[in-house]
Each structure stands twice: as structure tokens, then as C-alpha cells.
Amino acid sequence: MASVQDSIEVDVPVSTAYNQWTQFETFPEFMSGVQSVEQIDETSLQFRTEIAGVRREYLAQITEQTPDRKIAWVSTDKPRNAGTVTFEPLGGERARVSVELEWDPEGLAEKAGSALGADSRQVTADLGRFKEFIESRGIETGEWRSSVEQGEVDVDAYSAEDRRPR
């Protein structure tokens, strides 16, 4: 299993950073290699990626989500990957966004790229693009404020809103 951890400080409130991250279908706007993300239901996502000429398509399940704090997921098929994004208020209009990813590199090229730190550089660059994206807008493109525990939406906290932009 390969892994990477990185974080970035953004000049927006923690709720703005978190709300934007819940808009998974906007990921291609700031994540290189992500061609599209389709929101299948409240906790299921279909990813299409192309990294270093390798195209992948996989399903991911949100396993945990706490507004303004955390989003965690795991792929349900290959390529195997899992991750957590946490959000920390830094006071005022600032927040820290931290990413932890784990995955199983497949094939010689992916294993070599991982060993050489290409994946770490990509995460750092993607976080930089997220910072530019959210700070230049100053407001999120949408929000989804329900909680997810063990892959299930907390029905007690569920509202009529969904992940679509408002």
C-alpha cells in the first residue's frame, strides 16, 4: 500500500472549504487526472481518471462524513484506494484542509511513480489548485450538510437538500 499525506491553508471559512469538497462533481476543475465524478447517490461516486496515460474507472463509497470536519471514502472495486479529508478552522476566515490517501499501485509504471514521489507531488499540486479555486470564488458552488456513519446517511440529521449546487 502506498500513502501520501499533505495539507494546505485556505483563506475561506472552514464551512466554505468543506461545502465545496462535498461537491464531488467539481473535482475535475482542480484535480489533475480526474476526468469526471458522477454522484450516484448520497454515498456512492463513480470516478473516471487518467493519470500518466493510464485510464481508470472505479466506484467509491463515502464511509464517514461529518460537516465541517471530515470526509472519508474507500473504493469498492479496483484500483483499491481510500482516503480522508479533514477540515480544521484556523480562526477568522481561514481553514486547514488535510488529505490522507492510501492505494495499491498497479503495474511497474505506477509503482515506480509512487516510489519517485509523483503521487505526492500531484496531491500537493491538486491542493494548490483547490486553494486557488475556492479563494478566487470566495463561495462554494453548493453544499451537502448531512452526516454519514459507516457508509449510511444519518437519517436523523438528513435534510431535504442534496449535493446538487444551489
Asked if the model's pLDDT at residue 73 lies above 90, the reply is yes
- The cell numbers describing 157, all together, are 440529521
- Tell me what the pLDDT averaged over the chain comes to: 89
| pTM exceeds 0.85 | yes
% residues pLDDT > 90 (the chain): 68
User: What residues does each domain of the chain span?
Assistant: 2-140
Sorted by sequence, the CB contacts under 8 Å of residue 75 that are 6+ apart come out as 58, 59, 60, 61, 81, 82
Note whether 146 and 157 are within 8 A (CB). yes
CATH code linked to domain 2-140: 3.30.530.20
CB atoms within 10 A of CB 3: 13
Give the mean model confidence (pLDDT) for residues 25-39. 96
pLDDT confidence tier of residue 155, bands split at 50, 70 and 90: low
| Confidence band of 84 (pLDDT split at 50, 70, 90) | very high
pLDDT value for 158: 45
Buried b (16+ CB within 10 A) or exposed e, 103-127: bebeeeebeebbeeeebbebbeebb
Say if residue 2's pLDDT is above 70.
yes
| CB contact at 8 A, 40 and 57 | no
